[in-house]
Amino acid sequence: MTSRSDSQPGRSGPADLTRFAWLSIAAALTTLALKATAAWLTGSVGLLSDAAESVVNLVAALVALLALRIAARPPDAGHNFGHGKAEYLSASVEAVMIFVAAVAIMLTAVQRLLQPEPLENVGPGLLVSAVAGVVNGAVALTLTRAGRRNRSLALTADGKHLMTDVWTSVGVIVGVGLVVLTGNLRVDPVVALLVGANIVVSGLGLLKKAIAGLMDKAIPDAARADVERVLDDFARRRGISIHALTTRAMGRIHLVSVHLVVPAEWTVERSHALTLDLESEVGTRLQDTYIQTHVEPSGQHCPERTL
């Protein structure tokens, strides 16, 4: 006897997160203008590489906006569990863009390393770059917190990418400052190479998370612990047992499957009412978590199955 939750992902409508994507777009446009100005004032390839990363930020924010809009769509005939995996595609595209930016930065840095050029207007350029870093830092914290709160990989990835950009800006500013202090023009392209390497590491981490999501990885351990607490509490109060817990994540949606072991003499009606109560409790106590239940009579063992 199997009872499946009537509350499908997205029925109540996930939180509208597109406002955060628009914030990211505005930040990318602002910092791109500031960093491009700083690079133009100084002629620094390090600052130019920093500006190039802002181009990636802009593209990533646009992709995230599209992904969040798609992910917010309710389930339909062709996508019974909603469109949450669109966020993983967004993260994959962002990872590819990060790699492209890293290659462009490194090629420019190698050229400048072979043919050093003097820097100009360093003071004003660094000031403009510092302002861009502050803007990115504030937006990065906002996006990361919103992403964790709403279990959105698109926002979390965008926020972490922006925070990487902040540290990139710090490194570039330090590098340009060292050029002024030491007079060694090759410090600037060396810093740009380090920036490119840092961006590659960031892209690899993001791609790893996106692939894990597309491969239906189980929900995080902390989220599973929350599910287990709710299930254990329900089973204790109702005098039944629950086992065969399996999970998978689809963007911000968590899908859960369990077996409910009830007394063999229970009627179908009573068992069905129990599953509805459990589904309702899970929906109330756990954000964006949907459960599929399988009822088995006490004394009979059913093979475990997964979603």
pLDDT of residue 304: 60
Q: What is the 3-state secondary structure (H, E, C) of the chain?
A: CEEECCCCCCCCCCCCCHHHHHHHHHHHHHHHHHHHHHHHHHCCHHHHHHHHHHHHHHHHHHHHHHHHHHHCCCCECCECCCCCCHHHHHHHHHHHHHHHHHHHHHHHHHHHHHCCCCCCCHHHHHHHHHHHHHHHHHHHHHHHHHHHHHCCHHHHHHHHHHHHHHHHHHHHHHHHHHHHHHCCCCHHHHHHHHHHHHHHHHHHHHHHHHHHHHCCCCCCHHHHHHHHHHHHHHHHHHCCEEEEEEEEEECCEEEEEEEEEECCCCCHHHHHHHHHHHHHHHHHHCCCEEEEEEEEECCCCCCCCCC
pLDDT of residue 108: 73
Find the helix or strand (DSSP H, E) in which 31 lies.
helix 18-42
The residue among 60 and 27 whose pLDDT is bigger is 27
pLDDT of residue 307: 52
Residues above pLDDT 70, as percent of the chain? 91
208-259 tens-digit pLDDT: 877 877 777 888 888 899 999 999 999 999 999 999 899 988 767 788 999 9
| pLDDT surpassing 80 at residue 33 | yes
| pLDDT surpassing 70 at residue 64 | yes
Both tokens of residue 39?
Answer: 């690079």
pLDDT of residue 228: 94
How many whole angstroms separate alpha carbon 294 and alpha carbon 4?
A: 8
Greatest mean pLDDT among 26-35, 113-122, 202-211? 26-35
pLDDT of residue 46: 72
149-202 tens-digit pLDDT: 877 777 877 787 788 778 777 777 887 888 888 888 888 778 778 877 877 877
Beta strands in the chain (DSSP E): 2-4, 241-250, 253-262, 289-297
- The structure tokens 């600037």 sit at 188
Both tokens of residue 109?
Answer: 């840095």
Q: What is the mean pLDDT of residues 70-99?
A: 75
pLDDT of residue 9: 45
pLDDT of residue 170: 79
| pLDDT surpassing 60 at residue 52 | yes
pLDDT of residue 147: 83
| pLDDT surpassing 60 at residue 13 | no
| pLDDT surpassing 70 at residue 7 | no
| pLDDT surpassing 80 at residue 301 | no
pLDDT of residue 125: 80
How many whole angstroms separate alpha carbon 190 and alpha carbon 196?
A: 10
Task: Work out whether strand 253-262 and strand 241-250 pair parallel, antiparallel, or are unpaired.
Answer: antiparallel
How many whole angstroms separate alpha carbon 58 and alpha carbon 54?
A: 6
Q: Is-contact 173 126, C-beta < 8 A?
A: yes
pLDDT of residue 231: 95
pLDDT of residue 303: 63
Burial class, 33, CB count within 10 angstroms (exposed 0-12 / middle 13-18 / buried 19+): middle
The overall average pLDDT reported for the chain is 80
Picking from 3, 2, 5, the residue whose alpha carbon sits closest to that of residue 286 is 5
| pLDDT surpassing 90 at residue 117 | no
Residues above pLDDT 90, as percent of the chain? 19
Greatest mean pLDDT among 25-39, 53-67, 176-190, 203-217? 25-39
